Amino acid sequence: MSDGDLISELYAGCFRRLVVQLYAVTGDLNEAQEAVQEAFTRALAAPRRFAELENPEAWLRRVAVNVARSRYRRRRVLDGLLRRIGPPPAVADHSPEHLALLAALRGLPEGQRQALALHYLVDLPVDEVAATLGVSAGTVKSRLSRGRHALAALLTDSDATDTTETGRIDARS
């Protein structure tokens, strides 16, 4: 039996049992599932070493418990930090134009969206945007140009749809 087959067989045989056990430890089904999945991922990272274990299920359980404990500690630290800084800031603008802009930004490719957000919303210069994204300044300029054109098209389309839906005649038709 290959190492991968052993892990597959263990997954099929003991995943649910481990999730139930971790659910008892964490009190959160999603957290238990994620911890057990992480344990299997770590087994897949070193399949030969995993295959040599005397009791692989016990190893998976121990790793899953350790993962859950580590995540709990990190979450507790994060919660403490978040309490110190107070509640999250309210969204500054709930206007229809602002919401349309955010929706249009979500419709852009990731690179263009990141470049536009960092340059225009965070107000970073092109060189700093390039350093943040790990690309050249020329790439940032290209993404900004393409992003502006795509954003304009998306916003124009949304305006045309809005005026058509309200019953007004759209002069561009």
Q: Output the average pLDDT for the chain.
A: 84
| pLDDT confidence band for 105 (50 / 70 / 90) | confident
Single pTM value for the model: 0.51
Residue 82 vs residues 7, 66, 104: alpha-carbon distances, Å = 39, 24, 30
| pLDDT confidence band for 3 (50 / 70 / 90) | low
Where are the CATH 1.10.10.10 domain residues in the chain?
A: 95-165
Architecture of the domain defined by 95-165: Orthogonal Bundle (1.10)
pLDDT tens by residue, 150-169: 999 988 865 555 544 444 43
Contacts 24+ apart (CB under 8 A), 111-117: 111/135, 111/139, 111/143, 112/143, 112/144, 112/146, 112/147, 112/150, 113/147, 114/143, 115/140, 115/143, 115/144, 115/147, 116/143, 116/144, 116/147, 116/148, 116/151
